[in-house]
Amino acid sequence: MDFWRLFGYARTCFYSHVSTIDLPAKLSDKPINLLDFCKQITPVCRLNPLLFNGHLQTFWTTVKSYDIPIFYKRYVFSAEEPAFAGTFAVDFVVKAYQGADESLPPRTAYYGDAEFESVGSMDTRPMLVALHGLSGGSHEIYLRHVLRPLVDGGGWEACVVNSRGCARSKITTGVLYNARATWDIRQVVKWLRKTFPNRPLLGIGFSLGANILVNYLGEEGDNCELKAAVVCSNPWNLEVGSIMLQSTWLGHEIYSKEMGTSMRRLFEEHVNELSKNSKVNVERVRKINYLYEFDRELQGPTWGYPTEGAYYRDASSCDSLLAVRVPLLAINAEDDPIAVKQAIPFMEFQQNPFAVLCTTSLGGHLGWFETGGGRWFAKPASQFLMKMAQDIDVDTLSNSASGGDDVASSTPPFFNPMRRKLQVAC
């Protein structure tokens, strides 16, 4: 064990292309290199010394911590793409109000139709689009740790795209979301660009939401409307992660079992709708114990994958990373027992000058607990977003750096990182 870990000090490392892109500064003629930018906004990682390994950091996420009040108004969108028909819920951060809807997560209520129709604005405040982790939602505390410094006095607006069926939302078709379900965030970003034409849009994803976000960034490529993004605890290579979880008792009997149980509960919440899908065997799904069994019995059949391995390989974001064309900061803990180190695409980060990976030797899965209850990852994540919006001319960056010859030449002409086996619209 690293000696300094006993005192809560975590080693921080950065991985990137040998020459990351230059970011044009608003108040200076001298641009700043993306890697240098990421190093500057990343504080020393000193965590709670009592939580001295990834398992303890991860277990502590289940312990009730101090509250971070964020208020939301929800609007239910109808999918515009016929291939992904159905509805999905987006929660918008709003000022504190009295009363809430008991059918929704805490501090959440529905927008009235007339109220929602008037939300458009010509202001230039930055807007954050957030994606939560597996079976989570806008109510998750790890998400609110990042939202708070941005929306409380930071001048930001924010919204959370809830995966279909999550955060007490209803599904209206016979399928749940999956690990490459990029269609809902794509629709939301297009709507935001139309509704708030002057706002810079930035993104953040957590765990499975991080995987979805990187897939989205890769699919959009040069045309991405998001100006920059952060991903935290991305599992990256889902097949490697699944294999590693099954290789240890803790991984199999604790983590995979707990995630499988949470997805089975989600299934039961929507069983009336899901049972209408002829490809769903309700009794087989109800018997599952582990996450990979859930993916085998539900995700595979409903999305057309013959095995959970085929699903994992197709939905993983490690190849999508190569096609990202906006500044991206990824934060992973090397001792994460769920988004394991073996699944992190270190070499792919060295191939894309638009991306920087920051790893810490301690932190667990969406943990990074500091003494006092704060979470370290919220500091570099929020600082990256805030400084990117305040100090960097993101519009000039989009026009000058995206799709440069050096980037294009990094990928051989016979390899397309976004070539998918499941044929869906992108």
Distance CA 38, CA 32 (A): 10
Distance CA 173, CA 85 (A): 7
Could you give the residue ranges of the DSSP H alpha helices within 45-182? Answer: 54-59, 113-117, 141-151
Catalytic position from the list 184, 242, 336, 361? 336
Q: Does the annotation count 365 as an active-site position?
A: yes
Distance CA 275, CA 235 (A): 29
CA distances from 313 to 283, 319, 357 (A): 26, 10, 21
Catalytic position from the list 316, 365, 382, 398? 365
Catalytic position from the list 135, 138, 163, 207? 207
Question: Would you call 108 helix, strand, or coil by DSSP?
Answer: strand
Query: What residues are paired with 203 via a beta bridge?
Result: 129, 229
Q: Does the annotation count 319 as an active-site position?
A: no
Distance CA 190, CA 201 (A): 10
List Cβ neighbours of 167 (8 Å cut-off, separation of 6 or more). 89, 91, 104, 105, 108, 132, 136, 137, 138, 139
Asked whether 246 and 252 are in contact (CB, 8 A), the reply is yes
Q: Does the annotation count 262 as an active-site position?
A: no
Q: Which residues are catalytic?
A: 207, 336, 365
